[in-house]
């Protein structure tokens, strides 16, 4: 009985010691993670569309919110696949948010999308709609490959970048081979 009382006292002390009521500026985020239903250290989940795997989502830390329908992610990494399951590309972001209700994945902070063919998209904020397979952003971006690069503000693209449009301030550079005399 004495051991049970000691164990209960230790658990109560540990529980109160884990709560940090002061929020530091470095820990401040758009989401109040103190309201999280759960927290995972190391998360892996599969994103599917109509039963077909379209991506594997990994994160160092995940806060589960809104009745387990929204995930606030830290150091998010996504492996995208084609309809047939072949690797298509990756996305890395410092922070991310995934909603199972809307099936929208967002990345913030040095977001880098790399396709298997070498094309790279960099932006501070990227939105991936799992239902429409569209990638969008309303902020600056740079897209590059071995032939050159383009940049602008705001983009809409399909998942393979075969259909791509820039909203404004669009520009680019390309490598052109000139004939020798």
Q: What is the mean pLDDT of residues 83-104?
A: 93
In the chain, domain spans: 35-173
- pLDDT at position 31 is 58
Write down the pTM of the prediction: 0.75
Using pLDDT thresholds of 50, 70 and 90, give the confidence band for residue 5: very low
Q: Give me the architecture of the 35-173 domain, per CATH.
A: Sandwich (2.60)
Summarize the confidence of residues 83-108 as an average pLDDT. 93
Q: Other CB atoms closer than 10 Å to residue 163's CB: what's the count?
A: 10
Residues whose CB falls within 8 Å of the CB of residue 131, separated by 6 or more in sequence, listed in order: 49, 103
| Digit-coded pLDDT (tens) for 142-166 | 999 988 999 999 999 988 888 889 9
| Mean pLDDT value across residues 153-181 | 89
Averaged pLDDT, 52-72:
91
What is the band of 30 on the pLDDT scale with cuts at 50, 70, 90? low
Q: Which three-class secondary structure string do you get for 103-172? A: CEEEEEEEEEEEECCCCEEEEEEEEEECCCCEEEEEEEEEEEECCEEEEEEEEEEECCCCCEEEEEEEEE
pLDDT at res. 54 = 86
- How far is the C-alpha of 43 from the C-alpha of 36, rounded, in Å? 15
* Number of Cβ atoms within 10 Å of the Cβ of 54: 21
Contact between residue 42 and residue 17 where contact means Cβ atoms under 8 Å apart: no
pLDDT tens track for 123-133: 999 999 988 88
Q: Encoding tokens for residue 111?
A: 């977001």
User: Could you tell me which of 69, 17, 26 has the C-alpha nearest to residue 45?
Assistant: 69
Instruction: Output 84 or 140, whichever has higher pLDDT.
Output: 140
Across the range 23-51, mean pLDDT stands at 70
């Amino acid at each position: 009985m004495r051991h049970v009382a000691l164990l209960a006292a230790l658990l109560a002390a540990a529980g109160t010691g884990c709560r940090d009521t002061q929020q530091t500026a470095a820990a401040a985020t758009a989401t109040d993670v103190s309201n999280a239903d759960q927290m995972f250290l190391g998360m892996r989940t599969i994103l599917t569309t109509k039963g077909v795997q379209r991506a594997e989502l990994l994160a160092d830390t995940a806060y589960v919110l809104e009745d387990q329908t929204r995930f606030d992610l830290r150091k998010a990494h996504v492996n995208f696949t084609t309809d047939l399951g072949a690797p298509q590309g990756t996305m890395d972001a410092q922070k991310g948010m995934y909603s199972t209700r809307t099936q929208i994945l967002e990345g913030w902070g040095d977001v880098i999308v790399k396709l298997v063919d070498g094309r790279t998209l960099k932006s501070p904020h990227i939105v991936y709609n799992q239902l429409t397979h569209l990638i969008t952003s309303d902020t600056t971006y740079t897209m590059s490959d071995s032939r050159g690069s383009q940049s602008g503000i705001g983009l809409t693209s399909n998942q393979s970048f075969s259909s791509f449009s820039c909203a404004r301030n669009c520009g680019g550079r390309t490598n052109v081979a000139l004939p020798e005399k």
